[in-house]
Structure 1
Amino acid sequence: MKAYLILCLILCPAWLQAQHTPEKRVVQYVNPFIGTGAVDTNSLSGSNIPGPTTPFGFVQLSPDTRDAPDDPASGYDYNDKTIVGFSHTHLSGTGVADLFDVLLMPTQGEVKLSPGKSQVSRSGYRSTFSHQQETARPGYYQVLLQDYGINAELTATAHTGMHRYTFPASTQSHIVIDLDHSLNKKRGYWECRIIDAELKVINNHTLEGYRIITGWASLRKVYFHAEFSKPFDNVVMANGNNTPYPTTLLNGTALKAALNFSTTDKEQVLVKVALSAVSIDNAKMNMAAELPGWDFDNISRQCADNWEKELSKIKIEGTPEQKQIFYTGLYHAFTQPNNIADVNGDYQATDLTIGNAPDKVQYSTFSLWDTYRAAHPLYTLLQPERTAGFINTMIRQYKTYGYLPIWQLWGEENYCMIGNHAIPVIVDAVLKGIPGINAQDAYEAIKASSVTEHPGSPFAAWEKYGYIPEDIESQSVSISVEMAYDDWCVAQLARKLGNTADYNHFMERSAFYKNLYNVKTGFFQAKNKDGNWVTPFNPLSYGGNGGSPYTEANAWQYSWYVPQNVPGLINLMGGNKAFTAKLDTFFTLANKPGDVNGNASGFIGQYAHGNEPSHHIAYLYDYAGEPWKTQYYVSKVLNELYNNSSSGYAGNEDCGQMSAWYIFSSMGFYPVNPANGIYAIGSPILKAAAITLPNGKTFSVSVKNPGKPNIYIQSVKLNGKPYTKTYITQNDIISGGRLEFIMGTKPNKSWGITPAGVPPVWGYNN
């Protein structure tokens, strides 16, 4: 008894301390520098931003390391040595640049607003910086601008950015405002030019303005209202290379201003900048609603707390590196789409009128060719209310523009990429019963978008030939197989709504992929309108975004794109053995030098994880009786093509898709067909995961023996019962429950190989 009491006295303090140790916040695992700069030839930059933003917020305040951002599209490259300033809007993870609105930069000494023609490509106020004096976390960014000794700190609300600059003592302290900063105006995919701009001093602590600019989005209106905690002594402005001069109002197409101060040592000057796509008055309203005061630290904490709430919807157990990759991925996935509506619901519609969203949300930045695959299915699980907002936004675009978004930016359609992939996003959400969506309105929009001719969607040829001829539309193979999938999605919603004629018609179109399958070569190939195959044919030859039958891929990568009917694809290729043999070749056939383009990276044979056409392919072995090979290749991608460095992605992060692949796959499953309610099982690498569902239930995953070399499934249980299917369903997840894996070093070739264990085409009861 005495020994027991002594043991209690020894252990109790530690036990009590353990009971009162606060759980580590998940935001502490987010590393915003992941995906901000490539370091090897098998990866792209990721093109992510390190600066602060709120979940799905309008403002994304981040440093730009380039005067004319182009590549990486985020404007920030981890490998650069200088910063040109801090702009308030960015794209995160895209392959093409735009935005970069209202750049601020604190400086000291002489400032050159007009560097002259010899230096026109370089700002006169950039500064060197070091990563050793730079910090980023959700809700906060900090860097020391070494040329000036100024410490810059940033935080954000949904519509405003807040800056805190700590200056050394000087009679020549400045804050530059640059309305000329943009994507590269001299080269790139789109012509970029500023049509009009204005800077206006309201008083000695307030400045307002706007710019109207073309670029990836063809016409953007950006209005801002800025307030300063310290009155400025005077202002000089310049338009282009003209000599700066004191004024309180300037109009032009290349505007810059320097607000001049005298500062004492370590004096802090704060700036608040609110944006609107509607008007300056709305920008002021946004600031009054979200950022009336000057408490920088409190705003930063609120932003971090917002992220904590969103990221905590999934709790995981794993290695520190896995947690960093996972939660940073979830952070990137929740960075967009962006709510461009002001706090009163005003937004600029696609017809350039001012609309008002009754739910105060109008989303933009729909990178649908990427995100429909896994990011949007992730949103349906974790963000159902926002999913309804996404879809109602898409329907509003249809009502003012005539069809659904393809790639929508700043509320405008830019026609980037192929297919009509708002369709699977909408159909998936309706079939999952996401509240707040009118199914009849949704069907009207998807049907009209499937028959109305618009750029990249030649439906008359589609109906006439049963495929897209290459001599009518370039990228014909990719467009054909992707439109066939979209048609399948239209058919499923038609069936749900009892429209049998439409169901039959669109199901017939969903099988048009067969018309481009060449049985002699075993590939989907291009035909001309005369029905002849386009020659010469090289399955290793890459296409970009035109001039080839394939979009950012080759024939090898597009051979596997029939997510609506994988059994039909298997039969087309000659059955399970022929199918898996070709998959084996796909994952082992090396590229020839020069065969790839800038969107191809992260290779395992011909599999290119750095771009979306490959993302579902590793899971296809599940459908053909060899699930252990799915486990092998999924684990290989998880362990080798993601890391927690600046080059943590194998390609552009693409607005959440690259992250969503990791989030799903690390938990052990993935939506090969993102609209059929089926998730194919892969190879989980986390020790545990728990998804808190909107209905209050929890779906949890636990893994015994996780991680390398235990990459193979030995057995599975679902809700305590042995489970031999290579898939789970949407109903399994939303009903709550527990999925348990036992992993090992050698494949269990008897698990999941029965016909009943193969993922079906359809996962719903209706």
Structure 2
Amino acid sequence: MKIAFILVCTLALAFTGSARATDFTQYVNPFIGTGAVHGGLSGNNYPGATVPFGMVQLSPDTREAPDWAQASGYDYNDTTIYGFSHTRLSGTGASDLIDLLLMPTTGNRTSSTFSHEREEAHPGYYQVFLKDEGINAELTATTRTGIHRYTYPETKDAELIIDLDHSANKESWNRKIIHSQIRLINDRTIEGYRIITGWAKLRKVYFHIEFSTPIVSATLRDGDRRYENAPLINGTDLHALLRFGKLNGQPLICKVALSPVSKANAQLNMEQEAGHWEFDRFVTDANTCWEKELSKIKADGSELQKELFYTALYHTMLQPNTFSDVNGEYMTADYTVGKLPGGETHYTTFSLWDTFRGAHPLYTLITPERVPDFVKSMIRQYDSYGYLPIWQLWGQDNYCMIGNHSIPVIVDAVLKGVPDIDVEKAYEAVRNSSLTSHPNSPFHVWEKYGYMPENIQTQSVSITLEQAYDDWCTARLAKKLGKEEDHQHFTHRSGFYRNLYNSDTHFFQPKNDKGEWIEPFDPYKYGANGGYPFTEGNAWQYYWYVPQDIPALIELTGGSKAFEQKLDTFFTSRHQSGELNDNASGFVGQYAHGNEPSHHVAYLYNYAGRPEKTQKYVHHILTELYNNTSSGYAGNDDCGEMSAWYVFSAMGFYPVNPASGEYVIGTPAFNHCTLNLSNGKEFHIEAPRKSPSEFYVRSIQLNGQPLKGFILTHKDIVKGGTMVFKMKK
């Protein structure tokens, strides 16, 4: 991609219409979900500067070594900033990245207190006043470059610390720095790299930094070894203290470009994206890019509703992250350098156990032009690894979580007719990833037993249910391509969930390799990520995970009435057995909105002929489990998945089966909502009401005709048109 970042965003704004230039970013509050108020989970989001799907996420770190509870590096409850690093994860339950920390100082201080009264954030911009030394820090970004503006007290010498040792907690994931380098090219330029291993293995991060003011002197340090004005330093604990003298009220501007490939590519990224020194212009350009993305959905509601909606929409587009340089080079999964065809982008950060459910289906509506590159990025891992991503970070699979959920993402894209995807290559990757055993996916065991025995593969019930769904997706693609033998094989495997249904307990229950039920069995007891049959949940929460065949699940349950009654118990029972999983939060009975396995369940009442109960619980979740504080989410946002649920549900529908091309109707939050589609058409959702208490649906019409079955198809939406709800109390 050789078109300059600024030109891309300028053209994008022209495409969406200049009249919308200030309509949407004003509603985004990046502080939502950045810190729990009264314990529990909050979102694990960050407030710093980035652009949609950018490589750089430039934000303050409020911990010396961010860990699980501050996975993005920032906690709203903290009062100290240790500097500003350039990469991070959004909303995850584990921390990584946190690369290349810069800290402005006048006295070699490595931290400063701050207050929220002198802190500001909006899309593409962050500002904070560092109280201890009176320094004002401002941040903005392009796709691959972070831009800092530091205003120092006029009477003090301006200094800047560059810290290559700073990272997420080195006590987690065996994290350590393998090697790093700082090299002074001239009095305005520094470059270097860091190789670090942790949750993502052996990450290579190259950087190129330029300053608006010349460096007067520099101290380089590796641990206790210090060098004055040396041209470079190598080691594993590197710091640089740069001195710029008195700036007489003029700000110091630092431009920091990253690359996963080389220092030369980092420099090229800066040249093409950040060739000037006008900080405010960078801020405007970043805002322009966000306006273009956020304008794809126009929602008319209360100020609070719009704040929650557009912040959620913003959060869905912080990842996946660009992982290729402007010249098309990227680091492959086998640590070689790949080169893209012209115009393509390679992406990373695929939190697929979370995002296959709602975020990726949302991308097919709001940013379908990026979906082919998402799919191709996954397939490139298949080419190197032999199977598709499970949880990919900085180009490497960390095997976190279960299932093979690249499969539904790719199948959904192909079946929706997303262009520019090699369908046969996609099927090859999907099929072989469903047959090649890899961590948490021993398919030879799956084929032999027809389920995962817990004494062979832990998390067995959750894996059985989720893999059955992935196999259904593979079967659908095989059928589309006329591969009947594969279609039959994977359809058969998609029914393996039945082999763990215990008709005596009426739950999915673990077995051993002898086919014996494992006792004692407690459906209320929680598992984590190994050592128990259920993943981050219990048997109640996983009971409902048969999205490929809800009618069959209803039949197993004993019919529609029994299914409804079991759902009623699920949403009302508050019984607990032992400790809850750390990810279990946002409770409505046993329903735990703070974690993804529950996300589709409120919509299942529709299948039992009780849509009013779906509407009741969806409305409750929308209004009670999201707010506009730092504790705004009921659980980790998980790379935008918690946000995607809100975006879909506020529009009035949700993809219960995310690869089906269908959306199940709930209850719209807005009186009016419009999707501005990439094909130039518009899809309008009208739900006029006299008061917020009118959240029950009396009737629905699609383009003047009654909508039957509370199902809206993807084809219905992309054709454009109008869906009208009549609401009641």
TM-score normalised by the chain length of structure 1: 0.91
Alpha-carbon offset, residue 21 of structure 1:
9.9
Alpha-carbon offset, residue 707 of structure 1:
6.0
Alpha-carbon offset, residue 724 of structure 1:
3.9
Alpha-carbon offset, residue 741 of structure 1:
1.0
- Cα contact 2:673–2:685 (8 A) shared by 1: yes
Q: Name 2:13's counterpart in structure 1.
A: none
Question: 350, 363, 368: which one pairs with 2:333?
Answer: 350
Question: Is 1:129 the counterpart of 2:127 in the alignment?
Answer: no
Question: 283, 301, 305: which one pairs with 2:284?
Answer: 301
Question: 437, 448, 452: which one pairs with 1:464?
Answer: 448
Question: Is 1:91 the counterpart of 2:89 in the alignment?
Answer: yes
Q: Name 2:15's counterpart in structure 1.
A: none
Identity among equivalent positions (%) equals: 59
Q: Name 1:11's counterpart in structure 2.
A: none
Question: Is 1:48 the counterpart of 2:33 in the alignment?
Answer: no
- Cα contact 1:685–1:707 (8 A) shared by 2: no
Change (3 A) 1:21 1:92: closer
Task: Measure the CA separation in 1 of the matches of 2:532 and 2:332.
Answer: 34
Q: Name 2:351's counterpart in structure 1.
A: 367
Q: Name 2:178's counterpart in structure 1.
A: 195
- SS of the residue aligned with 1:384? coil
- SS of the residue aligned with 1:385? coil
Q: Name 1:57's counterpart in structure 2.
A: 54
Matches within 5 A, 1:694-733: 694-705=678-689, 708-733=692-717
Q: What is the letter of the counterpart of residue 615 of structure 2? A: Q
Q: Name 1:444's counterpart in structure 2.
A: 428
Residues 529-538 or 567-576, more deviating: 529-538
Q: Name 1:453's counterpart in structure 2.
A: 437
Q: Name 2:515's counterpart in structure 1.
A: 531
Q: What is the letter of the counterpart of residue 595 of structure 1? A: E
- SS of the residue aligned with 1:106? strand
Question: 253, 256, 275: which one pairs with 2:236?
Answer: 253
Q: What is the letter of the counterpart of residue 688 of structure 2? A: K
Task: Measure the CA separation in 2 of the matches of 1:195 and 1:23.
Answer: 45
Q: What is the letter of the counterpart of residue 59 of structure 2? A: S
Task: Measure the CA separation in 2 of the matches of 1:706 and 1:451.
Answer: 55
Structure 2 portions without partners, runs of 5+: 1-17
User: Per-residue CA shift, 1:70-107, capped at 9, x if unaligned?
Assistant: 02200000000010000000101111100111110101
Q: Name 1:341's counterpart in structure 2.
A: 324
Q: Name 1:490's counterpart in structure 2.
A: 474
Q: Name 1:103's counterpart in structure 2.
A: 101
Task: Measure the CA separation in 2 of the matches of 1:593 and 1:502.
Answer: 42
Task: Measure the CA separation in 1 of the matches of 2:240 and 2:542.
Answer: 51
User: Per-residue CA shift, 1:374-393, capped at 9, x if unaligned?
Assistant: 10000011111210000011
Q: CA RMSD in A?
A: 1.4
Question: Is 1:231 the counterpart of 2:229 in the alignment?
Answer: no
Question: 140, 156, 159: which one pairs with 2:125?
Answer: 140
Task: Measure the CA separation in 2 of the matches of 1:726 and 1:584.
Answer: 20
- Cα contact 1:164–1:269 (8 A) shared by 2: yes
- Cα contact 1:686–1:706 (8 A) shared by 2: no
Q: Name 2:65's counterpart in structure 1.
A: 68
Matches within 5 A, 1:253-652: 253-358=236-341, 359-592=343-576, 594-652=578-636
Q: Name 2:30's counterpart in structure 1.
A: 32
User: Per-residue CA shift, 1:688-727, capped at 9, x if unaligned?
Assistant: 1100111111111011217632221112111122334211
Q: Name 1:161's counterpart in structure 2.
A: 146
Alpha-carbon offset, residue 442 of structure 1:
0.3
Q: Name 1:183's counterpart in structure 2.
A: 168
Question: 635, 642, 657: which one pairs with 1:673?
Answer: 657
User: Per-residue CA shift, 1:609-635, capped at 9, x if unaligned?
Assistant: 000000000000000111110000000
Q: What is the letter of the counterpart of residue 32 of structure 1? A: P
- SS of the residue aligned with 1:691? strand
User: Per-residue CA shift, 1:206-233, capped at 9, x if unaligned?
Assistant: 1111010001111100000101101111
Task: Measure the CA separation in 1 of the matches of 2:582 and 2:381.
Answer: 32
Q: Name 2:14's counterpart in structure 1.
A: none
- SS of the residue aligned with 2:430? helix
Change (3 A) 1:45 1:427: same
- SS of the residue aligned with 1:393? helix
- Cα contact 1:346–1:360 (8 A) shared by 2: no
Alpha-carbon offset, residue 40 of structure 1:
2.5
Q: What is the letter of the counterpart of residue 276 of structure 2? A: G
Change (3 A) 1:23 1:245: closer
Q: Name 1:655's counterpart in structure 2.
A: 639
Q: What is the letter of the counterpart of residue 147 of structure 2? A: M
Alpha-carbon offset, residue 145 of structure 1:
0.3
Task: Measure the CA separation in 2 of the matches of 1:673 and 1:249.
Answer: 55
- SS of the residue aligned with 1:147? coil
Task: Measure the CA separation in 2 of the matches of 1:602 and 1:392.
Answer: 35
Alpha-carbon offset, residue 246 of structure 1:
4.0
- Cα contact 2:83–2:101 (8 A) shared by 1: yes
User: Per-residue CA shift, 1:339-378, capped at 9, x if unaligned?
Assistant: 1100011001011110011134110000000000010000
- SS of the residue aligned with 1:732? helix
- Cα contact 1:53–1:158 (8 A) shared by 2: yes
User: Per-residue CA shift, 1:325-351, capped at 9, x if unaligned?
Assistant: 111111111111011100011001011
Change (3 A) 1:593 1:38: farther
Task: Measure the CA separation in 1 of the matches of 2:540 and 2:661.
Answer: 27
Q: Name 2:10's counterpart in structure 1.
A: none
Alpha-carbon offset, residue 45 of structure 1:
2.5
- SS of the residue aligned with 2:364? helix
Task: Measure the CA separation in 1 of the matches of 2:417 and 2:642.
Answer: 26
User: How many positions carry a matched residue from both structures?
Assistant: 710
Q: What is the letter of the counterpart of residue 734 of structure 1? A: V
User: Per-residue CA shift, 1:32-52, capped at 9, x if unaligned?
Assistant: 1111111124x4131111111
- Cα contact 1:679–1:730 (8 A) shared by 2: yes
- Cα contact 1:168–1:267 (8 A) shared by 2: no
Change (3 A) 1:706 1:590: farther
Matches within 5 A, 1:741-752: 741-745=725-729
Task: Measure the CA separation in 2 of the matches of 1:517 and 1:295.
Answer: 63
- Cα contact 1:179–1:211 (8 A) shared by 2: yes
Alpha-carbon offset, residue 108 of structure 1:
1.1
Q: Name 1:757's counterpart in structure 2.
A: none
Alpha-carbon offset, residue 242 of structure 1:
4.1
Task: Measure the CA separation in 1 of the matches of 2:21 and 2:284.
Answer: 17
Question: Is 1:690 the counterpart of 2:674 in the alignment?
Answer: yes
Question: 196, 200, 208: which one pairs with 1:213?
Answer: 196
Task: Measure the CA separation in 2 of the matches of 1:240 and 1:258.
Answer: 13
Task: Measure the CA separation in 1 of the matches of 2:490 and 2:197.
Answer: 37
Task: Measure the CA separation in 1 of the matches of 2:690 and 2:82.
Answer: 45
Task: Measure the CA separation in 2 of the matches of 1:505 and 1:285.
Answer: 49
Task: Measure the CA separation in 1 of the matches of 2:629 and 2:112.
Answer: 24
- SS of the residue aligned with 1:629? helix
Tell me which structure has the larger Cα radius of gyration. 1
Task: Measure the CA separation in 1 of the matches of 2:617 and 2:454.
Answer: 33
User: Per-residue CA shift, 1:667-705, capped at 9, x if unaligned?
Assistant: 110000001111111111111110011111111101121
Alpha-carbon offset, residue 24 of structure 1:
4.7
Alpha-carbon offset, residue 172 of structure 1:
3.5
TM-score normalised by the chain length of structure 2: 0.96
Q: What is the letter of the counterpart of residue 89 of structure 1? A: T
Q: What is the letter of the counterpart of residue 91 of structure 2? A: G
